[in-house]
Chain A
Amino acid sequence: MLNLLTAERIKIIRSKKFWIVLGILTILPIMQAVNSQITVNHGKELVQVIDTVINGATGILMIEKNGLTVLLIISAFICFFIGEEFQNGTIRNVLSLGRSRIHYYLSKFLMAALVSLFGVIVLTALGMISFTVVFGFGEVAEINHYFVFAIKSFITLYILILANVSVYVMIGFLTKNSGISLIWCFLYTIATGFLPDIFQQTSHFKQVTEWFTETFLFYSDFANPSHIAKYPEMVLVSLLTIVVSSTLGILCFNRTDIK
């Protein structure tokens, strides 16, 4: 498993796509800070509930602010990261050496998780720095212990992202093709991201939407104490998503013929 991770590290460092993802996640928070400054200069006031990040302290919620963008960027990266192994035939080089398919699947998942973690750390750190530079560090309303809040919020937001990473990895292994997995990942993200808004209008389907991590990511205010109380539920749903999607992905991959 460590050998596989070493091989993945060499590939990732030399991957243009990885550097493009990192570039986007670096530029995005800086541009948003500048945009917010322009908005304020035009006489508008930033409101935390709407704008999510309004100062350096709320910068910890950059993942929430950019939830959809982060998911789409990471899903595209994962689709190529896995699909190209099938399309270039390089997956044969590993599996024909007698490497376990489970280890191969998990090494891909682990690398995708690490890339996502690194990406969201960069996004959040630069978000906090650039918003602090423009608006000062400030505070998060109704939060007394900022450090604990920051750690809990970041971990919860990352786990919500990780659950989606797990689904994208599963889709990548099921479709075995970058293009097709890209379509399915986008459809999954958009469907689970926007359908809850409709379903939440009815009492019958409201409960169902809470089994999807996007519902929390897109429709929660992570600075609101009533939503902060739901962190354990968010983590539980995310972990269940990771376990179910990974199990399904591994089972299907084990039965797959590699062309």
Chain B
Amino acid sequence: MSETILKVRNISKRYRNTKALEKVSIEIKRGMIYGLIGENGAGKSTFMRTIMGLIKIDEGDIELFEQTGSKGLQHARRKIGQSIETPALYPDLTARENLKVQAANGGVSEREIDDLLRLMNLGNTGKKKAKNFSLGMRQRLAIALTLITNPEFLILDEPTNGLDPSGIVEMREIIQRLVTERGITVLLSSHLLDELSQVATHYGILHDGKLIHELSKEELSRETRQYIELETTEIQKAVVVLDELEIKDYEVVNGTRINIYEHIDDVAAINRSLVLADVNVLRIGTTRQKLEEYFLQLTGGNTHA
């Protein structure tokens, strides 16, 4: 069984009368890319900040790299890299100088600076100050800062926020490269499930400070995959026809509806077989539940997501 990187149990955080987090429990194992999804104000950033010790929790336990207690967590946090919301940079320093500062903060050598600048396509920024960087460049520099201390666990809060489509693709590639090449475990957040679905291996859905659902990539693709929706008044006869067609992956949803998950391109052939078998077909066609619809369904239809 793979090592647990982060285990939080029933953590809660309250700001005056607002509950920012309510009994949230999450376990992240080594190698996972855990996507935290939630609309703005759902508690994603608060959750990440509690892990990094930036805000104090009111109740619950945090276990990081199997360490607990304030001293243990403080020690374990040396293995974390983070970029929360807007990139935290020194605007009057160059990319190299920003990295030098972070290397000093982490007490690590400056040897990797050149490699990181190249890795993040910032090698040719020279004396350009961070305040003159584009948002994409700042995001990439923020990731480079997190990597200078050689973290085993990376926490990225909305890393694609404000980026253009090419920037989003680039950021996605960087994250995937970090996981495959450096074996880093990642916790990242977004309010866009569609975007997260392209990188994450596991998902946690936060809503109003509560973790309302957790699922793996496979479960998500099963929940949101394309399928044939068949409506008929004769379910049993339809099932016999599907068996004859050697269709095994289907689900009888209710007394009039069957969802068929294979032979998606053979709608016409399936319909013909049903009609030939004298099955009364009310409607047949392919359908797909969009990721965003799935998310809205879970969160009760908040349109901000």
A97 to B75, CA, bound (A): 8
**Complex interface: stretch among A6-14, A28-36, A110-118, A175-183:** A6-14
Chain A residues whose CB sits within 8 angstroms of the CB of B101 once the complex forms? 7, 10-11
Chain B residues whose CB sits within 8 angstroms of the CB of A255 once the complex forms? 56
Asked if A257 contacts B54 (CB within 8 A), the reply is: yes
Partner of A97, one of B73, B89, B149: B149
Known: A7-B104, A7-B105. A89 touches B86 (CB 8 A): yes
A194 → chain B, closest Cβ, in Å? Answer: 35
Asked if A88 contacts B91 (CB within 8 A), the reply is: yes
Partner of B80, one of A6, A91, A97: A97
Asked if B84 contacts A98 (CB within 8 A), the reply is: no
8 A Cβ contacts from B138-156 to A: 145, 149, 155
Chain B residues whose CB sits within 8 angstroms of the CB of A11 once the complex forms? 90, 93, 101
Asked if A95 contacts B88 (CB within 8 A), the reply is: no
A10 to B96, CA, bound (A): 11
Partner of A98, one of B49, B76, B102, B104: B76
Confirm or deny: A4 has a beta carbon within 8 angstroms of a beta carbon on chain B. yes
Tell me whether chain A's interface is mostly helix, strand or loop, or mixed.
helix
8 A Cβ contacts from A1-60 to B: 3-4, 6-7, 10-11, 14-16
8 A Cβ contacts from B48-81 to A: 49, 52-56, 73-78, 80
Known: A10-B97, A88-B88. A93 touches B73 (CB 8 A): no
* Residues of B in contact with A, size category: 20 to 34
B159 → chain A, closest Cβ, in Å? Answer: 14
Confirm or deny: B12 has a beta carbon within 8 angstroms of a beta carbon on chain A. no
Asked if B80 contacts A96 (CB within 8 A), the reply is: yes
Closest A residue to B13 by CB, please name it.
A257
What 9 A-B pairs have minimum CB-CB distances, sorted nearest first? A98-B77, A89-B88, A7-B104, A96-B52, A257-B55, A258-B54, A3-B107, A6-B104, A98-B74
Confirm or deny: A92 has a beta carbon within 8 angstroms of a beta carbon on chain B. yes
Confirm or deny: B44 has a beta carbon within 8 angstroms of a beta carbon on chain A. no
Asked if B88 contacts A92 (CB within 8 A), the reply is: yes
Task: Give how many A residues have a beta carbon under 8 Å from the other chain's beta carbons.
Answer: 26
A21 to B84, CA, bound (A): 32
A7 to B86, CA, bound (A): 21
Confirm or deny: A224 has a beta carbon within 8 angstroms of a beta carbon on chain B. no
Asked if B86 contacts A96 (CB within 8 A), the reply is: no
A259 to B77, CA, bound (A): 18
8 A Cβ contacts from B91-148 to A: 91-93, 97, 100-102, 104-107, 145
Confirm or deny: B82 has a beta carbon within 8 angstroms of a beta carbon on chain A. yes
Chain A residues whose CB sits within 8 angstroms of the CB of B218 once the complex forms? none
Q: 21 A-B Cβ contacts within 8 A?
A: A3-B106, A7-B105, A10-B93, A10-B101, A88-B89, A89-B84, A89-B88, A90-B88, A90-B89, A92-B84, A92-B88, A93-B88, A93-B105, A95-B53, A96-B52, A97-B80, A97-B106, A98-B75, A99-B105, A257-B49, A257-B55
A97 to B150, CA, bound (A): 11
A15 to B90, CA, bound (A): 10
